Homo-oligomer: A and B are copies of this chain.
Amino acid sequence: MLDENRLFPADSAARSVAAKLYATVRDLPIISPHGHTDPRWFAENEAFPNPTALLIQPDHYIFRMLYSQGVSLESLGIPEADGSQNADPREVWRIFAKNYYLFRGTPTRLWLDYAFQNQFGLTGRLSPGNADAYYDIIAEKLETPEFRPRALFEQFKIEVLSTTDSPLDTLEYHKAIKASGWKGRVLPTFRPDSVIDAEYVGFLENIERLGAITGENIGTFKGYLNALRNRREFFKSMGATATDHGHLTAMTADLDPSTAESLYGRILSGRSVPQEQEIFQAQMLTEMAGMSVEDGLTMQLHPGSIRNHNRKLFERFGRDKGADIPSATEYTRNLRPLLSKYGNDPRLTFILFTLDETSYTRELAPLAGHYPALRLGPPWWFNDSPEGMMRFREQATETAGFYNTVGFNDDTRAFLSIPARHDVARRIDCAFLGRMVAEHRLDEEEAFEVVQDLTVNLVRKAYKL
């Protein structure tokens, strides 16, 4: 199924350079500094239950497409908010196989075919006719030692894998991994949305727990900030090198201390209005940047997704069910308070992501091409695709250069897609560089250096790995 020249330019001159470049990065280790895999897998190292539970049910890229074409989430065995889940895994697999044509032209198709062929040795395209055979082969392999999480981690040549974790998390699985003596590096990432976003379900209880865990007095803003500092320190002691922030907008603020203190009081009262909550989040981004200056954790911001857009589906199935929809995201004005305060500080590394590609040339590349603290994260989510990655390079490079970017993030909860995703990213970088060389915009010798930087050097530096 997989051609060795896939994703390279059709033009033979550019393709030939791309292929040469790719040969030098194909086998480099995978560095995955941002993602959503479950640390429990590596702590317990149990076999994955079945093909459907491994490949379909955790992957919102897959079930959102099926849903858009009239396949119900129930029939796919997506668990409902009340925990019910009835579909037979093999039946779900058959539905998937029958609808596999829907993924034509999508990155999901590239990722899946890669996993089918390279991890399971399956080479005929998935179809209703071979659905059961696929299922059986995958199920059988999953029971072998080679398909346990740690074995796959090693087989994938993962040098480091970061998870995403709540500040309230005890990181018990990360501890267990460390304690086990296994050498795989699985690092936590500090993601404090649940104690910063007042609209988050259970927000006030979360703050209470934050106080309880840290022994800080969260009744004051200072105590609240100290509690966060405390948890950052704990995460750092567990290997974390980064934080992550998922906000609705990129708004930042730089309030004077007494205003911030009284705003925190309003938030804590539970009677705050949406505008206050927004400013609080804005202020907290700047506070978090200040803490990153102190403790050196690289800061990531992922704004612009309107979560749970489909009300009926959210009520029945809960969050992360493919119904998060992007909206226009402003950076230039919104980031000014934070950047005016910390953007020139060499101790800060602040990585920006976007779901709004219009910001690449207009805002993100000009910002990252100026502020020493700023770097551009790779194309995210809906833009994590061949065309999306190519647009990112075409639109960001001329103003930000290559060296204000940070390599690839797979950002996935689909463990088996990790090698495929990194492979796509490497191929597209090679395709872009291949065209640049073929058009004499970059010397071939330099392209070999750049592709190493894009694959391993920039990510190591930006995430301090």
Interface string of A318-353 (1 = CB under 8 A from B): 000011111110101100100110011010000000
Q: Nearest Cβ in chain B — how far from A128, in angstroms?
A: 15
- A362 CA to B372 CA, complexed, in Å: 28
Chain B contacts for A436, CB-based, 8 A:
105
Q: Indicate whether A217 reaches chain B with its CB closer than 8 angstroms.
A: no
- CB pair B68–A372 under 8 Å, yes or no, is yes
Given that A102-B401, A104-B446 are contacting pairs, would A306 and B333 also be in contact in the complex, using a CB cutoff of 8 Å? Answer: yes
Tell me the smallest distance from the CB of A315 to a CB of chain B, in Å: 10
Q: Does A355 contact B (CB under 8 A)?
A: yes
Total identical chains:
3
**Separation in Å of the A390 CB from the closest CB of chain B?**
9
Check if A70 is an interface residue, CB within 8 A of chain B.
Answer: yes
Determine whether A262 belongs to the interface, using a CB cutoff of 8 Å to chain B: no
| A27 within 8 Å of B (CB atoms) | no
* Inter-chain contact A366/B325, CB cutoff 8 Å: yes
Q: Which of B339, B355, B449 contacts A309 (CB 8 A)?
A: B339
- Asked if A104 meets B402 with Cβ closer than 8 Å, knowing A10-B11, A310-B343, A346-B70, the reply is yes
Q: Is the CB of B310 within 8 A of A339?
A: yes
Judge if A367 is at the interface, Cβ distance under 8 Å.
Answer: yes
- Chain B hits for A269, CB < 8 A: none
Interface centre among A101, A323, A401 (most CB of B within 10 A): A401
| Interface residues as binary, A65-96 with B (CB distance below 8 Å gives 1, 0 otherwise) | 10111100000000000000000000000000
Q: Whose C-beta in chain B lies nearest to the C-beta of A1?
A: B443
Roughly how many angstroms separate A59 CA and B330 CA in the complex, as a whole number? 28
Q: How many angstroms from the CA of A51 to the CA of B105 in the assembled complex?
A: 43
The answer on a CB contact under 8 Å between B362 and A328 is yes
- A139 CB within 8 Å of chain B: no
Please name all residues of chain B whose beta carbon is closer than 8 Å to the beta carbon of A45 when the two chains form the complex: none
- Complex Cα–Cα for A323 and B450 (A): 26
Q: Is the CB of A69 within 8 A of B404?
A: yes
Inter-subunit contact B10/A441 (CB<8 Å): no
- Chain B proximity mask over A151-187: 1 for CB below 8 Å, otherwise 0: 0000000000000000000000000000000000000
Q: Tell me the complex Cα distance, A40–B118, Å.
A: 61
Docked Cα-Cα span, A202 to B104, in Å, equals 48
Report the Cα distance A9→B441, complex, angstroms: 11
CB neighbours (8 Å) of A399 from chain B are 106, 382, 385
CB nearest to A403 among chain B residues: B102
Tell me which residues across on chain B come within 8 A of A374, comparing CB atoms: 68
On chain A, the number of residues with a Cβ less than 8 Å from chain B's Cβ atoms is 92
- Name the residue of chain B whose CB is nearest to the CB of A375: B68
Given contacts A357-B362, A370-B310, contact A395 B404 (CB under 8 A): no
> Which residues from B are CB-within-8-Å of A402?
104-105
Measured between C-beta atoms, what is the minimum distance from A407 to chain B in Å?
A: 15
Q: Which residues of B contact A343 (CB under 8 A)?
A: 310
B382 touches A361 (CB 8 A): yes
Q: Which of B2, B3, B9, B362 contacts A327 (CB 8 A)?
A: B362
Q: Which residues of B contact A438 (CB under 8 A)?
A: 10
Complex CA distance for A326 and B398, rounded to whole angstroms: 15
Are the CB atoms of B313 and A344 closer together than 8 Å? yes
Query: A2, A12, A65, A309: which has the most chain B beta carbons within 10 Å?
Result: A309
Whether a CB of chain B sits under 8 angstroms from the CB of A387 is: yes
Q: Which residue of B lies closest to A354 (CB)?
A: B362
Contact B14 A10 (CB under 8 A): yes
Within 8 Å by CB of A372, from B5, B67, B330, B369, lies B67
The answer on a CB contact under 8 Å between A68 and B7 is no
Output the least CB separation between A442 and chain B (Å).
6
Is the C-beta of A439 less than 8 angstroms from some C-beta in chain B? Answer: yes
Which residues from chain B contact A439 at a C-beta distance below 8 Å? 6-10
Q: Does A295 contact B (CB under 8 A)?
A: no
A5-B440, A9-B10, A65-B401 are known contacts; what are 4 more A-B pairs with Cβ within 8 Å? A69-B372, A101-B449, A306-B332, A328-B330
Closest 4 CB pairs of A and B: A6-B440, A3-B440, A10-B438, A385-B398
Q: What are 27 A-B contacts defined by CB distance under 8 Å? A: A7-B441, A8-B439, A10-B14, A10-B439, A12-B13, A65-B401, A68-B370, A68-B401, A69-B404, A102-B403, A104-B402, A105-B398, A105-B442, A125-B443, A306-B332, A309-B336, A309-B339, A310-B370, A310-B371, A313-B344, A323-B370, A325-B370, A327-B332, A356-B358, A358-B362, A365-B382, A385-B398
